[in-house]
Amino acid sequence: MLVFFQERLVFLAVPKTGTTAYQTALSERADMVVRNPPELKHAPLYRYNRFFRPMFDRVGGAQMETVAVMREPISWLGSWYRYRQRPFLLGSPNATHGVTFDEFVLGHVKGNPPEFANVGSQAKFLEPRPNGTAVTHLFRYEELGKLNRFLMDRLKVDFVLPHENVSLAIELELSSDVERKLRKKRAAEFDLYESIQ
């Protein structure tokens, strides 16, 4: 999470959407950089609303806007699958070695997913709160140029994104049957992604 207090902007770090690169590029420009623990670095909107928003409200009644990135849902799952193929995870319960991408996705859509497929939900991460707190500016991962222009204009800064925390380059295929099941069980993910202007 990056906080730009003067500009009243908080950049929420949705996992597997390139936010580590933005953190590297913009951390010197930010007023607050939340790197650890991961539960705070990747604080979803509900956690931001509960812990961070009240703090900003109390500091001079600062009304902060939020910005976040959402990745196309199948691509997002593919990134998680490849990320968990890293050699040092071999033998770990959350590793995807010996698991096909179809098996990973089928595990993901279960009510109680196995550890290797338990990666959460972008829609849940970004879900508006009952008090009206919502992501103010939502961008597609596949169109980061729009986000970059927004940030450069809002923060009055130029930056170049480094390549960081990149998943292994593995060609993935999802069978049509599994894709249909994913789209049915996780319709909220696809609906939210399609709603981004």
Which two tokens mark 133?
């707190």
Residue from 173, 168, 190, 166 nearest 103 by CA:
173
Structure tokens at 149: 């222009």
Q: Cβ(40)–Cβ(61) under 8 Å?
A: no
What whole-number distance in Å separates Cα of residue 150 and Cα of residue 11? Answer: 12
What is the per-residue pLDDT for 157?
96
What integer pLDDT is reported at residue 167 of this predicted model?
Answer: 65
Per the prediction, the chain carries an average pLDDT of: 94
Is the Cβ–Cβ distance between 45 and 134 less than 8 Å? yes
| φ, ψ dihedrals at 103, nearest 5° | -65, -40
Sequence ranges of the domains in the chain: 2-195
- pTM value is 0.92
- What does DSSP say about strands 137-140 and 9-11: parallel, antiparallel, or unpaired? unpaired
Cβ-in-10-Å burial (0-12, 13-18, 19+) of 60 comes to exposed
Is the separation of the CB atoms in 116 and 84 below 8 Å?
yes
The tens digit of pLDDT for each residue in 27-57 reads 999 999 999 898 899 999 999 999 999 999 8
| CATH (residue range 2-195) | 3.40.50
pLDDT of residue 126: 98
Which residue positions in the chain have pLDDT lower than 70?
A: 164-168
